[in-house]
Amino acid sequence: AQTVTQSQPEMSVQEAETVTLSCTYDTSESNYYLFWYKQPPSRQMILVIRQEAYKQQNATENRFSVNFQKAAKSFSLKISDSQLGDTAMYFCAFMKLWGGLSGNTGKLIFGQGTTLQVKP
C-alpha cells in the first residue's frame, strides 16, 4: 500500500520570502503522479502543481516549483515570493493511474498536511 508523509505540521514564512514544504512517499509502483493541493480556510481544495513520475524534469507553475527525487521518494514544494494569499494547509498526494476503463485517473492518497502561515 502507498503512504504519504508530511513531517512538518506547521510552518511560517515572511511575505516575499521562499519556503519549502517537504513530502516523502512509499510505493512499489513505477508509473504514478504526485500532486500538491492547497486548502485555504474556506476549505476549497485547489490543485497547485502536478508531477508525472516518469518525467525527470521538475514541474513549475509560476511561483510554485517542486523538487522531485524519485529514487529517494521525495517530493518537496517550493513557494517563491510568498504572498499573504498563500496562507493555507498544503497537502501532498500520490496517485497511481488505474488505466483501462478508468483511464487517466485513480484515487488520491494524501499526507497529513502542512499548515503554512505567511506573515506580513
Partner 1 sequence: GAGVSQSPRYKVAKRGQDVALRCDPISGHVSLFWYQQALGQGPEFLTYFQNEAQLDKSGLPSDRFFAERPEGSVSTLKIQRTQQEDSAVYLCASSLAQSRLSSVGQYFGPGTRLTVT
By beta-carbon proximity to partner 1, the closer residue of 1 and 120 is 1
C-alpha cell at 58: 521538475
Least CB distance to partner 1 at residue 15 (A): 25
By beta-carbon proximity to partner 1, the closer residue of 19 and 93 is 93
Q: Which residues bind partner 1 (CB under 8 A)?
A: 4, 33, 35, 37, 42-47, 50, 52, 91, 93, 95, 97, 101-105, 107-113
By beta-carbon proximity to partner 1, the closer residue of 13 and 109 is 109
Least CB distance to partner 1 at residue 9 (A): 9
Which candidate, 22, 9, 27, 10, places its Cα nearest to that of 94?
27
Least CB distance to partner 1 at residue 29 (A): 15
Burial of 75 (0-12, 13-18, 19+ CB in 10 A): buried
Indicate the SS3 state at residue 98.
Answer: coil
Q: Beta-carbon neighbour count of residue 76 at 10 Å?
A: 17
